[in-house]
């Protein structure tokens, strides 16, 4: 009897599976993911109840209270902070614990490790965005109809908005992964990532002469995918996301080059 040999599992698929296990094994990662999800859902629910309460508030007497679906996914821009922190801790934690050396021994070419980590973190960011936005929009559709608030969301539009929210957080996760892998140290990586996402945009927009540059930062450009907030550049949604994606790709490629050029 001849034994049939089974093909080995592709290297990259194995790397992705390993990274998924490592990510979900740590309680802190699960807690951060849950908090990010609750931020999106909870903020959306609170906004819905807040709009209902305005109808009984004398200060809003005679006013028409209107709502737009994009308002219920604005909290994705807050959840991005948690997603970015989760990505940074996932990468830098391997260097702090020495796990990175073992990971790179198992994957001598190194690139599959970084790519697998980016894929897993992007997938988690995508799920957080899609589930959180879908639940937030769903709650708004349950709470606001019949309340007197002018709100008539299209289910198809809501589904697209939920998918876009996930796409945005996936790109943020990849950007944070690249910066963290390039810098390696948790303090430096957190400073760089949070500075780029939440400090640089309003800082640049407050300086005369360079205000337009703020629209090319990851947050201000990428948010065009899920928000209609005004900006100087007024990018089309997918053009703005393209700017964010370019930031993420450059960060990841830089991390890949540095990963090959220095010791683990």
pLDDT tens digits along 36-74: 999 999 999 999 998 888 777 777 666 777 888 999 999
- Residue 202: band (very low, low, confident or very high) from pLDDT cuts 50, 70, 90: very high
| Residue 222 predicted with pLDDT over 90 | yes
Q: What percent of the chain has pLDDT over 70?
A: 90
- Looking at per-residue pLDDT, the higher value among 259 and 75 belongs to 75
Q: What percent of the chain has pLDDT over 90?
A: 60
- Looking at per-residue pLDDT, the higher value among 7 and 52 belongs to 52
| Residue 4 predicted with pLDDT over 90 | no
* pLDDT computed for residue 135 by the predictor: 97
* pLDDT computed for residue 59 by the predictor: 75
Please state, in angstroms and as integers, the Cα–Cα distance from residue 194 to each residue in 108, 129, 179, following that order. Answer: 31, 19, 11
Can you tell me the mean pLDDT for 162-188? 96
Each residue's pLDDT tens digit, 105-125? 555 567 888 899 999 999 999
Each residue's pLDDT tens digit, 133-156? 999 999 999 998 877 788 888 899
* pLDDT computed for residue 240 by the predictor: 94
* pLDDT computed for residue 104 by the predictor: 60
* pLDDT computed for residue 10 by the predictor: 73
* pLDDT computed for residue 123 by the predictor: 97
| Residue 103 predicted with pLDDT over 70 | no
- Looking at per-residue pLDDT, the higher value among 15 and 200 belongs to 200
Short-list 257, 247, 223, 251, CA closest to 237: 223
- Residue 19: band (very low, low, confident or very high) from pLDDT cuts 50, 70, 90: confident
- Residue 8: band (very low, low, confident or very high) from pLDDT cuts 50, 70, 90: very low
């Amino acid at each position: 009897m001849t034994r049939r040999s089974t093909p080995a599992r592709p290297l990259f698929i194995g790397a992705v599976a390993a990274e998924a296990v490592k990510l979900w094994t740590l309680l802190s990662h699960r807690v951060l993911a849950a908090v990010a999800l609750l931020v999106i859902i909870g903020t959306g629910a609170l906004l819905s109840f807040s709009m209902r309460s305005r109808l009984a508030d004398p200060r809003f007497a005679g006013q028409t209270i209107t709502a737009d679906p994009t308002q219920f996914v604005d909290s994705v821009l807050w959840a991005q902070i948690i997603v970015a922190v989760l990505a940074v801790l996932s990468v830098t934690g391997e260097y702090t614990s020495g796990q990175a050396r073992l990971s790179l021994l198992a994957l001598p070419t190194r690139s599959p490790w970084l790519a697998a980590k980016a894929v897993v973190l992007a997938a988690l960011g995508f799920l957080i965005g899609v589930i959180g936005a879908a639940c937030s929009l769903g709650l708004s559709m349950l709470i606001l109809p019949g309340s007197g608030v002018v709100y008539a969301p299209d289910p198809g539009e809501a589904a697209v908005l939920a998918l876009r929210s996930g796409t945005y957080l996936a790109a943020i996760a990849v950007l944070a992964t690249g910066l963290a892998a390039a810098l390696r140290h948790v303090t430096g990586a957190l400073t760089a990532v949070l500075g780029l996402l939440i400090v640089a945009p309003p800082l640049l927009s407050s300086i005369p002469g360079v205000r337009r540059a703020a629209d090319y930062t990851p947050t201000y450009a990428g948010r065009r995918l899920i928000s209609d907030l005004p900006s100087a550049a007024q990018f089309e949604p997918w053009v703005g996301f393209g700017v964010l994606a370019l930031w993420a790709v450059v960060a990841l490629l830089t991390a890949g080059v540095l990963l090959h050029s220095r010791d683990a």
